[in-house]
Amino acid sequence: MAKLVLSDEWWTAPAEGATGNLIMVTGRRGLWPVQQLGHYTYRVEVTWRYHALPDGMPTLDDAKLMGEVHDALLATFDADPVAVLAGVSTGDGERSWLFYARSLHIFQRKFNEALAQLPTLPLEFHAEEDPDWDEYRELCETEL
């Protein structure tokens, strides 16, 4: 099997949250060929609800730790693409990562490996089948 090559190109655009606060939405470009492979059928959303500043954004300390988490996830899943990190959103009191995975069991194992050196985090997981990548398609609609 050929090695999966993922785009390193990302875009970021502002959006408005339910409370009117700013949400920064970031998406990964060039993933439609990955979707067309038909292997990444599970959508996994990982959410970190944080104590927000008045504008809905995280504190500097939380933002720094979120950056470390993000870097660890990218390094792990880009090296062993059992899942693809497709998007991230931050604001209105939460950070969410959007993944598409081949297997939920293997995703969970690799996710735990990625964050093993970091403190325990208040993460929530939601997974469901999304073979057409509807959530990613909706995310891409926010790109300017």
Strand-pair partners of 55: none
pLDDT tens digits along 36-63: 999 999 999 999 999 999 999 999 999 9
pTM of the model: 0.94
Task: HSE, CB side, 13 Å, CA atoms: give it for residue 15.
Answer: 22
- How far from each other are the two terminal CA atoms of the chain, in whole angstroms? 36
Nearest CA among 43, 55, 26 for reference residue 100: 43
Nearest CA among 113, 107, 102 for reference residue 125: 107
pLDDT tens digits along 91-141: 999 999 999 999 999 999 999 999 999 999 999 999 999 999 999 999 998
